Amino acid sequence: MSGQDHSDRVALVAGYRQLVAAGLGTGTSGNLSRRSPGGMLITPTGIAPHDLLPEQLVAMSLAGKVSPGAIRPSSEWHMHAAIYTGRPDVQAVVHCHARHATILACQRTPIPPVHYMIAITGRDTVPVAPYARFGSEALARSVVDTLGDGRACLLANHGLIAVGDDLQQALRVAEEVEELAAIYCGCLATGAARILTPAQMEEVRRAFATYGQQDGKRL
């Protein structure tokens, strides 16, 4: 194991634990990956974040070939691989069953621009991918088609997926989508939400272009 590979593994384990600490999942329901020179490095199936060791992460090709001696990868590896194949810009993928996002996913209800921070997803709406069985190639195709060039989508009757230029961006997007989902659920429970207009969202995107510390990374 090279020094860089070990560093990537440690970061992925830390990200998995961060996902649970942020309240975006329980048990072994989530999975994370990052692109690697040979394909991707992904969390294994059936191991909870607090039990996961860096050496248990699975190095595999995007075609599904697993390194010799590796344990079984996440059942959702097809979805991660399909995203990396279709989106050369994506360097990390986060999938979780965050509560409010999953509520809306089970209703098959997209998240509209109820709050300006939806711009972090690269779109004005967080769409819902049509239902397909977990772990299936059909789900992978559904997610890639729905995600398009955005950074997040809901999975009907399932959960949430977020992508990023790096692992921390993917985690930030997942956390923000869950917050947006909670806000929208609250609006639906207490009355109709007032949605931002396309013109207002365009103004937000222009403001985001010069917001914060500019380090070359997008929000």
In 3D space, the residue among 183, 139, 182 whose CA is nearest the CA of residue 161 turns out to be 139
**What is the helix, strand, coil percentage profile of the chain, to 5?**
45, 15, 40
Question: Is residue 203 annotated as a catalytic residue, yes or no?
Answer: no
Q: By the 8 A CB rule, do 38 and 61 touch?
A: yes
Q: By the 8 A CB rule, do 163 and 152 touch?
A: yes
**Bridge partners of 39?**
36
Q: Which of 55, 76, 175, 176 is catalytic?
A: 76
Half-sphere exposure of 11 toward its Cβ, with a 13 Å CA cutoff?
17
Q: How many helices (H) and strands (E) does the chain have?
A: 6, 7
Residues marked as catalytic: 76
